[in-house]
Structure formats: structure tokens, C-alpha cells
Chain A
Amino acid sequence: MKIRATAAIMECLLEQEVDTVFGYPGGTILNLYDELYNYKDKIHHVLTAHEQGASHAADGYARSTGKVGVCFATSGPGATNLVTGIATAYMDSSPIVFITCNVTEQTLGKDAFQEVDITGIAMPITKATYLVRDPQTIPDVMRQAFAVAATGRPGPVLIDFLKNVTFPNVEIDYEFVPWTENRKCGSLRSLSSSHDLKAPEPNIGDINILVDMIAQSEKPMLICGGGVVRGRAHKEFKEFAEKLDAPVAITVMGGGGFPGGHPLTTGMIGMHGSQASNVACNECDLLIAVGCRFSDRVALQPDTFASQAKIVHIDIDRSEIDKNVLTDHHIIGSAKRVLALLNERLPQYSHKGWKEHILPLREPSVPRESETLTPKQVLETIRQLAPQDTIVATDVGQHQMWSIQHFHFDYPGQLLTSGGFGTMGFGLGAAIGAKVGNPEKVVIHTTGDGCFRMNCHELATVEHYHLPIITVVFNNGTLGMVRQWQNLIYNKRFSETTLDRGPDFVRLAEAYGLKGFRATTMAEMEEAFSAALEAGCGCVIDCMLDMDEMVRPMVAGGAHITDFLLR
């Protein structure tokens, strides 16, 4: 069947069951948007205020729904505005297909208006990039791009269409192929033959070795990483942890992979890890890390990390093995499958003594008495008033660590945070994507005054699409995390971290047609948050906090994991 090339792009999105895209139009992508006009009943397009917001929204959508996010942008600045979003998705293995259009074949490489080599720029921060010059290849490239983004270790891909490929008079051969059949045709088929791929199954020998190692261990410990979340392996992980009866530390990216309120949880591990997690890591004799990459924020000092333990690494990406920390054993496979195979083979263990040693080290959550509002009070108010399945999107810094330490996440996709790339300004876009993808859930965006100022223009998107997202600003008038380092490590030389400037976030919210609240005491916070839950529209709560509040505990970068700078 002959159809327009742009229609083929839309049909390929429908093949992949895409019904929502985020984006921003422009000169070279006009033809695609013109076609989108024909498909507006089938494909819901969310227009953001800025391409970066669209990229984070597609990311938040992907992380919270488990589907592949889709994001459109035009050439040149439109494409480069995506770069931070692409890198954020890449570092956190979030599946997104970015679609940009470039100038025409005739002008390509001639520094045409709004021309940039985006496939070149995006290469180090994507799983794959495609420059489409031949319209006939559209279906094949689209199918491969979605497969690459979603499978293995997920991640972003970028497709750049030349403008002449999308001209309205260009027609191509197209047959609808459901996505489940994509792997049997075109380049996906030839890729699997050139790589001699077989049906994926973890190595049973490797599984059995771990079963034996577990049998010999007296002080085992688990780390729940982002792979558990991306692989939606939370049920298998919970069963594994309970069978093993071992303490479970959760990384930032692992939030939602294991219930935060579970009796075996020791909380976060690493730089702002709990005493329980960090001490357990230092004293355990077997450390099983699932889907984590031992980043420098977890394995602060790789040489001494879990030095008493045999380290076992379970991951889908072989290149992570022995990358940051040398391991004793590894199993390659999806967390879901590997854990299921382990669960079949494991008896019920009991490590009572070990647990009794570690678990009491968890921080007692006694709210600090204070006249003025404290971060803990803000979070406690949210926890008490919001439903337990509330989705929390964070920005980056102190409020991020506090949010992750304080909330208990129960399922994958409940916590949306830029753990790897640490992108300030991620949260509001991510919250928009999450709310679009999960309209039935309450979505909260926690942010700091520094982060919020970076991308607060997306409040326009919140208002336009009537997304009742509650933004809670931890407003301490400073870049809190940087100030914390300056406080502790840089002799209180507060170089360029004080944010003694506008805007007034309450009036900013009102300017965007949303509701704004200010909270200076716990009572005001309770009142504001209750009102925000009932408001039915986007709300901003400006919480006034002391600028010298710190994230506790803290271990300095590169230090031994139990060498706490702050307790």
C-alpha cells in the first residue's frame, strides 16, 4: 500500500501503541505536525513551553507507565534543547524515542538555517541514532528504534528525518505490522542473524553458583537498583529478599523496586545512605546487587566497598560487570527472569542475628521540634495527607534526598528522579508526563527554589492541560546541597549559592492561572496541602525553610562508606 511518508511515521507510532507524544513544532518538522493534524484523534500531543520540558515529560511518562516515551522537536535549537533530557534518560536507562527533523538533503552540511548535526551530538547519550535520508526506510527505522529503546537495558534513541523525507508528495510502501511481529522483519531480523542471537535465558550454571554462595553466607545483604524498577521485577525481588531474609538497601534509582516500609528495608545506601545500609554493606559477607551499577554515589570508595564480602552482580548489561567495583560472581539477565529462577531454587533462610544487628541502626524518624517549618514536617504532612500510591517527581538536591529518605515507595514508577545525571529542572516536566500517563493518580512534584526556577515555565503546560500537579517548593533561599558542601567542606565560603531574589512563587503560580500557597509553619503547610489536594488544578506551595538545614547522614565523596561526615 502506498501512503505518505509522514503518514507512515504516524502509522508506525500506532503500531507501537503510542497514543501520547510530547513535543514542540518548528520549521523543519512542519510536515510531521501537519500530518499529526490528521491523526489528532489517535495521537494526543502535549505541547510544552520548552523542548527540554517535553523531553523530561516523555521521560516521566516512560518511567511511570513502563511504556516507551515519544518526544518531537525541530532541527537546530529545538534538537539541542533536548540534549539534557536525552542525557538524563540515558543515565537512568529510560526508554524514549526522540524524533527530530533536519534540513533538506540539498542543504545538509551547508550550515543551513537551524541546522545541527544532532545525530552526532546525541551519539554518546543514546543507545542508537538514526539519520533517515531515504523515505523507504521509515518503517524499518521506526521499528528498530522502538525495539532498541525498549529492550535489553532500556534507553533513549534518536531518529532524525531530513525534511525532504517528510515532504507531502513523498509516498512509500507501507504495511501495518503489529509491534509483536516487528522482530520478524527488516533490519531487526538481519540484526539478530548478524549477532547470531538466541532466545535469551540466564545461564543456569551461574544461577546455581549463587544458590551455593547464598547457602554458605551468614550475613547476606541485598541492593535493589534501578534495574529492578525498569524491569518491573518488584514482585520477584520481594520474594527473593524475604526468602533470603536479608537487609535490603535501596539505591536512588531503585526507589519503588522494594517497598520502602518493608521490615527488611535499610533505606538508601551510599553518600546519603542510612547507617543501617552503610554499616551492613561494610560488614556483610555476601552482597548481591540487582540492577545497580555501583556508581560513585553508592560505592564511594570502590577499593574498600563491601570489603568483607563476596560481591555478586546481577545485571542485564554485561559492560557494567567489573566496571566500578570488581565482583566475585555475576549473572547476566533481566532482573525478573534471574530472580524468578533463583526463587525456584532457594529455601527459606533466617538470618535473625544479623538482622538484629543491622536493622535497629535505621534512623528513628522523630520529627524535630521547631517553631519554624522544617523539611521533615513538610514531608510528613505530604505523607499523611496524600494517598500512599502518590507519584512523586523530584528535582535534584537536598529536597530530592529528603523526599527519597522520607517517602516509602511501593511500586516501580512511583518515584521519578534524575539519579544518574542529576538534572536540576527535571521534576516538573517529569510530573507532567506522569500525570498525563497516570491521570487517576495524585502526582506531586517536590523541588527546591533553585531547581524550580530553572524550568518553572512548564506551569503554563500544567495550566493548559488542567493537570492537577502539586508542586512543593522547599524554599530555603539557597542552592541547599551546594551550600551544605560549602558549609562542611569549603569553610563556609558561600560562593554564589545564595538565592536572595525573586520571583514570588505564590504570585508566579497565580500569574500562570494556578493556585499558590505559602507555608511558614506546619499548620499552614497542612492547610495548604489539604487545599491543594482538593483544588483540582495545578498548585504551588512555597515552603519557607531555614537555609542551613542539612541532609543527614552524609559521607563525603571518595570516603569510606561508614566514615560519616554527618550522622
Chain B
Amino acid sequence: MKREFDTEKKEYTLCILTDDTPGVLSQVARLFSRKGYNIESIVTGESDRPHTARLAISIVGDELMIDQIAAQCRKLICVQAVKVLDEASSIRREVALIKVRAADRNARDEVIQMANIFRANIIDVSRETLTVATFGDKEKTAALIGMLSDFGILEITKTGTIAIERGRSTIYDDNKLKEEYNYGKNVL
């Protein structure tokens, strides 16, 4: 049977486990730029294993396109595993720091209240501004930014989306696909 692919465009997150060696990020990133795809966000950090980094790359596309990029990623020698997660199968979070204009007492009170409603924190204060830190999914960040924009936003920085699979499965799980990719690296 030929494989069938979901043709609906949606946001996928590719979780990529790689050896922590120089050039890994550009090797992975070029697979996207080569096809002219725009990365929504890219986050890299340590994993729970030594000398191993974990990347989370968010991208909007259809399943076939994501599958092809994941295939090229998996083939890289530095890549140990790739997991493609969509909204249904994963929990996704991002951190945003938002600097808001709050020059008078009223504005400050309102911003603080808004932050409380969203369970966000005030992490910096000056005579003219407040900086709000929020942790949550993309929709929550967007909603908070929407509310705070009334006061005047000076700047925003976001981490981009990190994701982890729901339930028991992990990126380390062995499966036939992983074995098949490792075959090509196996005789190393």
C-alpha cells in the first residue's frame, strides 16, 4: 500500500536529538532554507543525555513536506533521532518577555492585574515601564500581547516553541523507522 499523507497545512514541531558538535545547527537549518521553507521558530538546548543537544523546530506545512524534511534530517550523521509532533500529539510551550509602557500608577496597576489574570510575572520595573514574563502556549502569549498592546508595547522577545510528546512515548524509543535510518550509519 502506498502511504497517504495529510494534505492540510498546519504547524508541526520537529524535535531533533543531535550530537553536540559544531555546525549542527547550520546543517539542520539549511535543509529548510534549501527548499525555501520559512522556520517559524527554532529552539536549541541541552537534553538529558551528555554531549547531546535537542532542537525544536516549528514549521507550517503539510505532512508530505514535513516528512521529506524529517527524512533529510534523520540522514545527517550528527542526528540521533527525529520526532515529528503535531498539536494533538504534543504539549507545546513558549516563553515571552514583554516590555510595556506604564508611566503612571493606573497603568502600572492595570498591567499587573492583567499579568495576574494570565499567571504571568513582572520581572522588571522602571519609572516608565514594566516587563512581563509569560510561559504558556502560543495562544496564551498572543492573547496577553493583545491585551497589553493597549498600554503600548516597547519590545517583545520570545523563545519559540518547545514541545514534548504526550503520554509514555519519548524521542528515545526504538522503532523500525529509526533502525532503518541507522542502517545507513550502522557500518560506521
Enumerate chain A residues within 8 angstroms of B180, measured Cβ to Cβ. Answer: 203, 318, 332
B50 to chain A, nearest CB (A): 9
Q: Quick check: A197 and B182 within 8 Å, CB to CB?
A: yes
Task: Of the listed stretches B26-34, B84-92, B106-114, B130-138, name the one at the interface; the rest are far from the partner chain.
Answer: B26-34
**A-facing mask of B98-141, CB < 8 A → 1, else 0?**
00000000000000000000000000000000000000000000
A447 to chain B, nearest CB (A): 32
Q: Quick check: A128 and B77 within 8 Å, CB to CB?
A: yes
Task: Select from chain B the residue with minimum beta-carbon distance to A147.
Answer: B188
A492 to chain B, nearest CB (A): 35
User: For the complex, is A537 an interface residue (Cβ under 8 Å from B)?
Assistant: no
Task: Select from chain A the residue with minimum beta-carbon distance to B72.
Answer: A319
Enumerate chain A residues within 8 angstroms of B167, measured Cβ to Cβ. Answer: none
**B-facing mask of A285-315, CB < 8 A → 1, else 0?**
0000000000000000000000000010000
Of the residues B67, B72, B181, contact of A322 by C-beta under 8 Å:
B67
Q: Quick check: A316 and B183 within 8 Å, CB to CB?
A: yes
Task: Select from chain A the residue with minimum beta-carbon distance to B172.
Answer: A196
Chain A 312-346 interface residues, beta-carbon cutoff 8 Å to B: 316-319, 321-323, 326-328, 332-333
**Complex CA distance for A195 and B2, rounded to whole angstroms:** 29
Chain B 1-54 interface residues, beta-carbon cutoff 8 Å to A: 1-3, 19, 22-23, 26-27, 30, 34, 49, 51-52
**Complex CA distance for A74 and B23, rounded to whole angstroms:** 22
Enumerate chain A residues within 8 angstroms of B176, measured Cβ to Cβ. Answer: 203
**A-facing mask of B144-174, CB < 8 A → 1, else 0?**
0000000000000000000000000000001
Of the residues B49, B74, B77, B179, contact of A319 by C-beta under 8 Å:
B74
**Complex CA distance for A323 and B69, rounded to whole angstroms:** 10
User: For the complex, is B71 an interface residue (Cβ under 8 Å from A)?
Assistant: yes
Q: Quick check: B186 and A198 within 8 Å, CB to CB?
A: yes
Q: Quick check: A152 and B19 within 8 Å, CB to CB?
A: no
Q: Quick check: B68 and A323 within 8 Å, CB to CB?
A: yes
With contacts A151-B188, A195-B182 taken as known, whether A328 is within 8 angstroms of B2 at the C-beta atoms is yes
User: For the complex, is A188 an interface residue (Cβ under 8 Å from B)?
Assistant: yes
A194 to chain B, nearest CB (A): 6
Q: Quick check: B75 and A317 within 8 Å, CB to CB?
A: yes
Enumerate chain A residues within 8 angstroms of B23, measured Cβ to Cβ. Answer: 119, 123, 129, 131
Of the residues B3, B52, B71, contact of A326 by C-beta under 8 Å:
B3
User: For the complex, is A120 an interface residue (Cβ under 8 Å from B)?
Assistant: yes
User: For the complex, is A183 an interface residue (Cβ under 8 Å from B)?
Assistant: yes
Task: Select from chain B the residue with minimum beta-carbon distance to A198.
Answer: B186
Task: Select from chain B the residue with minimum beta-carbon distance to A205.
Answer: B176
**Complex CA distance for A317 and B180, rounded to whole angstroms:** 8
Interface size on A, residues (CB 8 A): 40
Q: Quick check: A195 and B185 within 8 Å, CB to CB?
A: yes
**Complex CA distance for A317 and B72, rounded to whole angstroms:** 10
Q: Quick check: B188 and A191 within 8 Å, CB to CB?
A: yes
Q: Quick check: A326 and B2 within 8 Å, CB to CB?
A: yes
With contacts A152-B187, A197-B182, A319-B72 taken as known, whether A127 is within 8 angstroms of B52 at the C-beta atoms is no
Q: Quick check: B181 and A318 within 8 Å, CB to CB?
A: yes
Q: Quick check: A152 and B52 within 8 Å, CB to CB?
A: no
Task: Select from chain A the residue with minimum beta-carbon distance to B177.
Answer: A318
User: For the complex, is A148 an interface residue (Cβ under 8 Å from B)?
Assistant: yes
**Complex CA distance for A183 and B188, rounded to whole angstroms:** 7
Enumerate chain A residues within 8 angstroms of B179, measured Cβ to Cβ. Answer: 198, 203
Enumerate chain B residues within 8 angstroms of A311, measured Cβ to Cβ. Answer: 2
Q: Quick check: B185 and A152 within 8 Å, CB to CB?
A: yes
Q: Quick check: A152 and B188 within 8 Å, CB to CB?
A: yes
Q: Quick check: A191 and B77 within 8 Å, CB to CB?
A: yes
User: For the complex, is B58 an interface residue (Cβ under 8 Å from A)?
Assistant: no
Chain A residues with a Cβ under 8 A of chain B: 119-120, 123-124, 127-129, 131, 144, 147-148, 151-153, 183, 188, 191-192, 194-200, 202-203, 311, 316-319, 321-323, 326-328, 332-333
Nearest 10 A/B pairs, CB to CB: A152-B184, A151-B187, A319-B71, A200-B186, A332-B180, A318-B180, A319-B75, A326-B2, A318-B181, A197-B186
Q: Mind listing 23 A-B residue pairs with CB under 8 Å? A: A123-B26, A128-B77, A129-B23, A148-B77, A152-B187, A153-B184, A191-B185, A191-B188, A194-B52, A194-B80, A195-B182, A196-B174, A197-B186, A198-B182, A200-B186, A317-B75, A318-B180, A318-B181, A319-B74, A319-B75, A322-B3, A326-B2, A332-B183
